[in-house]
A and B are shown apart, each in its own frame.
Chain A
């Protein structure tokens, strides 16, 4: 490929890269600041404005947030609903997507239309609340899993992926006498691992980020997932202390800032751990094809 070596083009490249590097930096700087700030002490946060690498390493903030069971329990809740929820969601999604990907299914187009329609219009907060309440799910973990079990968007991606698999595979399996169940589990699923991994991770991240459903449906504080606790500590408490200035120096307790930062880190880290795996399986070509279709 002929490279454009004119100075105008080179200047363009230079500025482009510089700007992009800046964008990348600005995107992650808040995380780094919060991460670093969570591992530092009162004195250092008071002294320096931007802490990127703490010189005074301290686990005080973490000791504090783990000193009661609140944060730990909420993490447990989040892990539970993420694992159970993802499995449940994938089961429903893969089965329905597979069924919908077959032309022999009567009513296929109608069902697809009904599914797409839910992306454009819904009953709203109150009717949904009444449905969940009538099912007796209030204050149960089920309320955090079942009502959010399927995403129309994910379903469509999965279905399109299945549709793009070559027909020949299924044909030869059918000739060998295989039924739909074994075609699905023995052939289609193993071939679809990139899509399945990606959609699973989408669902998992979604479950981990659950907060509003908990605010609506769960009154028992012991059942609150980590995001709700995070909101309590940083946002709700934050509103109360937003205008306090001039703190007295504390020698024993860490300041509110590093505690808040520690809770943020704890709520965020699992996603950051899972993220590289998501990146790896993110078959951009296949996924985009599914979105276009």
Chain B
């Protein structure tokens, strides 16, 4: 196969590109360098993906993946007929949308506010402060919340009592699980998004603002017509990332918040997988549940990606 054929068949290739073997001989070091990383991704990311096949088997550890009996969609059927299924689905989607609606706009708002500040040192200080919780583990965030919200000498309850109200059982009362969850996310995650939006806003041409001012636009109109549109692409990318993220990382957070009292509102697919799989040993069934969840997540991201492209934005792939 000569170069011309290669070029016609694979138009993206650099013209005159050598064969794989030649490339490896010539640039051997490069190929060697990527081997450890590749091994990592293959073993710890792709192998588990192929391991999802146990969702279609009656997996027994002693029989192994290849020795276990094939059961097709039996586990999925069981999942859909499980009484808890609708509750879990509802919880998962509710927390997901609450997250998007309440937590996503906060960094944008903060970035807009910080962007308007002319005093650099104040801006830096606030940025630094707001960014700190992002580096704390969920254990730390939830622990601090527990200490503050505790019925027994927790700060919030003490303040309520001092103001003449009754104590509220934030930790046990299922009605408070979702608000607590959302507030913790806002506290922890706002800083990260703020930094990124701020950086995007920093690259806006100041002349646009001057032109707007000369046309008589006040502060709010300047923000609405200049700042926001300029960061539209960044908003879309971060939104897409968040959609892909929420169904994944949200689990470690929720896992810490769950107790016997708030399971009804807090149980999501991943926590269910943990209980059924790692605690009860129902490997195949919980793998099927996990597969379903990951699949739903993938569909959501792909749908959002497609939608964003329809609106003329770049997707994340």
Contact = CB atoms under 8 A, between A and B. Distances in A.
Interface of A: 1-2, 4, 8-9, 12-13, 16-17, 19-21, 23-24, 27-28, 30-31, 33-34, 37, 45-46, 49-50, 91-93, 95-96, 98-100, 102-107, 109, 111, 113-116, 118-131, 135, 146-147, 149-150, 155, 179-181, 184, 205, 208-212, 216, 227-228, 230-231, 234-235, 238-239, 241-245, 247, 255-257, 260-261, 263-264, 267-268, 271-272, 275, 278-279, 284-285, 287-288, 291-292
A114 B126 contact: no
A242 B195 contact: no
Contact of B33 (A17, A98, A285): A98
A271 B151 contact: no
B11 to A, nearest CB: 13
B37 interface: yes
Contacts of A272: 132
Contact of A92 (B36, B155, B199, B294): B36
A49 B154 CA distance: 8
Q: Categorize the interface residue count of chain B.
A: 35 or more
24 contacts: A1-B206, A13-B116, A20-B113, A98-B30, A121-B49, A121-B294, A121-B298, A123-B51, A125-B270, A127-B48, A131-B44, A209-B135, A211-B137, A227-B140, A234-B146, A234-B147, A235-B143, A238-B146, A238-B171, A257-B153, A271-B135, A275-B132, A284-B199, A284-B202
A271 B23 contact: no
The prevalent SS among residues of B at the interface is helix
A49 B158 contact: yes
Contacts of B44: 128, 131, 146-147, 149
A272 B128 CA distance: 11
Contacts of B145: 30
A46 B252 contact: no
A9 B117 contact: no
Given A235-B142, A275-B132, A127 B126 contact: no
A33 B155 contact: yes
From B27, B43, B143, B259, residue with most partner A Cβ within 10 Å: B143
A28 B132 contact: yes
Contact of A127 (B37, B52, B146): B52
B219 A211 contact: no
Sorted nearest first, the 8 A-B pairs with minimum C-beta distance are A123-B48, A96-B37, A124-B290, A209-B137, A127-B51, A127-B48, A180-B29, A99-B34
The prevalent SS among residues of A at the interface is helix
Contacts of A116: 316-317
B244 interface: yes
